[in-house]
Amino acid sequence: MAVLSSLLCSPARFISPFRLRLWDFSPCKRRTWLFLSVQRCYTSDSSNSSDHHHSSGLERYKDLQKYFNRRLKAAYHRFSNIPDHSLVCGHNHVYFIERDGIYRVDQRQSDPEPEQVLHLGQVSRQEEKTGLINEERIQWIVQRIRLSPQEKHLAATLKTTDTEEPRCVVVRLRKRNSPPPPDPQHIVLTLDKVFSFEWATDDVLFYTTLEALRCSKVFRLDLTSKESRITSVFEETHPDVFVEVVLSRDRQILSINGNSRSSSEVLLIDGTTSHLEPFLVQPRQPDLLYHVEHWRESLVILANTGPGQEYQVLQSPLSKPSMASWVPLFTPDSGTVIKDMDVIGDHCVLVARTAAGGLVLIVVSLTNPKEAYTVQLPSWACTIQTKKPGMADRGSVLEFLISSPVHTPMPYSLSPEDGLLLSGSKDGFSPGAQGRITTTRLEACNQDGTLVPVTLFHSGPVGGLRQAPLLVHVYGAYGRDLNMEFCPEKRLLLEQGWTLAFCHIRGGGERGLSWHRQAGVEGKQRGVEDLRACLRHLFSSGVSSPSLTALTACSAGAVAVGALCNTHTHMMRAVTLQAPFLDVLGSMEDPSLPLTLEDREEWGDPVGNPEHRPIISSYCPLHNITPQCYPSMLLTAYSGDARVPLAGVLKYTELLKKAIHTHFTLNPKSEYEPAPNILLNIQPGENHLGPEDFELMLEEEALRLAFLYTELGLEPPRPQRKRRR
């Protein structure tokens, strides 16, 4: 299911460890699994590893960091064989990624030998020949694979560990029983800065390019002649619009989706025709978000034309796709919001979140829309990752994985025709093997009466968690749900007695588009108040206490955390922030930054709208630092991060340290109050998501755990020794 990816795919300030919920690709993608991180990288031998920088003050955590590094490595190893959807299925071959490249096996053979179709070393050697590297360590990661309809060509995007600019490599595949060519791994060409890409035919590839974190151009690559030919297809002129190309599930229609924060425009290319010329579905209009899927001679449309401008499902003829021809098919009940959509056979399958916060599947018959039914999922399910259909897939079954931050991905399949839901869990990953994990869904009441959902993972009854350390997660921006995919680090903390809380504050998308709108621009303070209400509700419910509580956030999630730290420092003991966005006012004032123009729709425009300046100034973390005793903080930043410039993080850290020093200078009695530790960990590279390298990622996570245990005054748990018989 990649429908809503086109509505929310702009590279905003956020972090997701696997993919942006419901997305098949993203420049913000980070793979955290051991088997992905280790196997999907290739490092050139052109140099030694570059040194990474640790800022002063981190040395005191080194011993504990080494301890947690070992524990984390063991945890990742323990979960290294969990199910995933990394395989790409062709008509007769299965493609997979190893450490040094892409391989395939022929399913028609009884004992097939893997055939390497792309060696990542070839890409490095091409760099060396062209002089594009100068004794630097080049580590390539395979991001995505796309096969042409008859498997004549394979295209794959790669990226290096220190930059976000992806590269697309096109490879000509060998036919069965044909003699091996002189170069068995024949790279046809490479394309720089390619973000999204799809094959329309065996010889025609459409793709977008990423420039300064923005996709605005669509190109067409023709391989029909001896020399490849590239032509421009489309260019978006609005600076706040992000463009991508997406292939329909039945592979017949390719769409060019141009989306801003509040509007959409879609062009379609019919892959069954010879001219492959795009045609418009519905012209852009303010506050209209929509996406299309293909079914027979019709379009199935997901648009925010339902009550309260929430999503509903509509249909129109392919020959008359404009809004005047849209006919409603299904509108969810009040309180239930659609999170994604797919078309399986003659059914539309919706991922929806209920008013209680749980995920369900809603199946709508496209031949008789009144025959809609709901499929219940396990109560702990927080995310759904669907399997991309293979070339030979008839499309009658939806395969997917469900998971939570502490529940390993579990495979399921749904037959929409008869509503049969099957679990394909393997030994070791059945629900009973998930351990004694309790999932509790709470609601905190804000001062304005709004009920804010909180998802709690814990062991034992809620009433017995008063002495348990609490790690609170928050995001609340861009209409995106808080990331809740499985993470071995979270599972390790839970097993060591921690309670994990995920606060779904306004500004995110957990309760629909209106949930985001309520905390947009003028309403940003509501998200901060929501976070405070969540903490108060947790403490009053008997969950932990401020002295045992830490907050954690990434990127734009740091806004709510930083703002709360300025006004209610007593509510938490420690804070960890990764790539934190803390200077909202300064960023929105600077149009030269790559995300400012499109982000003003989210945060406001202090330059063009005088009313926005005092609003942003009222909550901006950097501009509200005052002399007081703050919680201890660990801020991790990346020197080349274009989304969150390092200058803002440095300025915030400096002002925070000065404010704390002033507080203790002006209040001598506060010498009995322990001074907080404010630590800045600066790492090299341009990646907003942190290191792709597995070992470097472990070091970063281990430092975070060492910091939390130290600042909360916890003794690190020691593994039990096995008794000798």
The pLDDT value recorded for residue 424 is 77
Phi, psi of 88 (to 5 degrees): -115, 120
> By C-alpha distance, which of 578, 556, 594, 551 is closest to 690?
578
Residue 724 predicted with pLDDT over 70: no
CATH code where residue 471 lies: 3.40.50.1820
Q: Tell me: the pLDDT tens digits for 107-149? A: 988 888 999 999 988 786 555 555 544 445 567 889 999 999 9
Residue 547 has pLDDT above 90, yes or no: yes
Q: How much is the pLDDT for 669?
A: 74
Task: Flag whether pLDDT at 632 surpasses 50.
Answer: yes
Give dist(CA 672, CA 665) in Å, integer.
13
The whole-number average pLDDT for the span 231-240 is 95
Instruction: Give residue 183's pLDDT band: very low, low, confident or very high (50, 70, 90).
Output: low
**Share of residues in the chain with pLDDT > 90 (%):** 73
**Residue corresponding to tokens 């209409």:** 479
Half-sphere exposure of 266 (CA within 13 A, CB side): 29
Q: For the segment 420-431, what is each residue's pLDDT rounded down to a tens digit?
A: 999 876 544 454
Q: Give the pLDDT mean for 629-652.
A: 94
β-strands 549-554, 574-578: how paired? parallel
Q: Is residue 465 part of a domain?
A: yes
Q: Report d(CA 468, CA 456) in Å as an integer.
A: 13
Residue positions annotated with a catalytic role? 555, 641, 688
pLDDT at position 1, please? 52
H helix runs in 101-149, sequence order: 120-130
pLDDT of residue 10: 57
Predicted model pTM: 0.91
Q: How many domains does the chain have?
A: 1
Residue 27's pLDDT band (boundaries 50, 70, 90)?
very low
User: Could you write out the three-class secondary structure of 199-232?
Assistant: ECCCCEEEEEEEECCEEEEEEEEECCCCCCEEEE
Residue 74 lies in a domain: no
Q: Reduced to 3 states, what is the DSSP secondary structure of residue 543?
A: coil
Q: 188 in the Ramachandran plot: left (φ > 0), alpha (ψ -120 to 50) or beta?
A: alpha
Neighbours of 608 (CB within 10 A): 10
Mean pLDDT for the chain overall: 88
Q: Are 155 and 204 in contact (CB under 8 A)?
A: no
**Residue predicted with more confidence, 624 or 99:** 624
Q: Determine the pLDDT at residue 21.
A: 27
Q: What is the pLDDT of residue 388?
A: 87
Residue 74 structure tokens = 């063991």
pLDDT given for residue 720 in this prediction: 59
Residues 6+ apart with CB under 8 A from 172: 152, 153, 186, 188
Predicted confidence (pLDDT) at residue 154 exceeds the cutoff of 60 = yes
Strand-by-strand arrangement of the 279-280 sheet: 242-247, 253-259, 264-270, 279-280
Q: At what angle do helices 488-495 and 62-78 cross, to 10 degrees?
A: 110
Measured CA to CA, the distance from residue 441 to residue 456 in angstroms comes to: 6
Asked whether residue 16 carries a pLDDT value surpassing 50, the answer given is no
Confidence of residue 33 (pLDDT cuts 50, 70, 90): very low
**Does residue 135 lie within any of the structural domains?**
no
Q: What CA–CA distance (Å, rounded) separates 478 from 13?
A: 9
Q: Is the model's pLDDT at 276 over the cut of 70?
A: yes
CA pair distance 204, 410, nearest whole angstrom: 37
Give 609-655 as a 3 state SS string: CCCHHHHHHHHCCHHHCCCCCCCEEEEEEECCCCCCCHHHHHHHHHH
Q: Does residue 404 sit within a domain?
A: no
User: Do β-strands 451-458 and 420-423 pair in parallel, antiparallel, or remain unpaired?
Assistant: unpaired
Domain that holds residue 451: 437-710
* Alpha-carbon distances of 694 from 34, 40, 443, 701, rounded to whole Å: 7, 10, 37, 11
Q: Residue 34 pLDDT more than 60?
A: no
603 is written with which tokens?
A: 């945060």
Is 325 a domain residue?
no
Output the pLDDT for position 51.
38
Output 394 or 83, whichever has higher pLDDT.
Answer: 83
Mean pLDDT of 664-693: 84
Sign, CA torsion 604/608/609/615: positive
Question: Which segments of 269-385 does DSSP mark as H helices, in order?
Answer: none
On the question of pLDDT at 394 being above 80, the answer is no
- Provide CB contacts within 8 A for 537, sequence distance 6+: 442, 443, 444, 445, 454
Q: Is residue 703 part of a domain?
A: yes
Category of 481 on φ-ψ map: left (φ > 0), alpha (ψ -120 to 50) or beta: beta
CA–CA distance from 464 to each of 142, 501, 526, 538, 717 (Å)? 45, 15, 31, 12, 20
**Residue 367 reports pLDDT greater than 60:** yes
Residue 244 to residue 23: CA distance in whole angstroms = 12
Q: Mean pLDDT, to the nearest integer, of 21-36?
A: 32
Residues 302-340: pLDDT tens digits?
999 999 999 999 999 999 999 999 999 999 999 999 999
Strand 359-365 versus strand 372-376 pairing type: antiparallel
User: What is residue 270's predicted lDDT score, i.e. its pLDDT?
Assistant: 95
Residue 565, domain member (yes or no): yes
Please say whether the dihedral angle defined by the alpha carbons of residues 595, 599, 605 and 611, taken in this order, is positive or negative. negative
Stretch 200-222: mean pLDDT: 95
* pLDDT interval class at 14 (50, 70, 90): low
Q: Is residue 251 part of a domain?
A: no
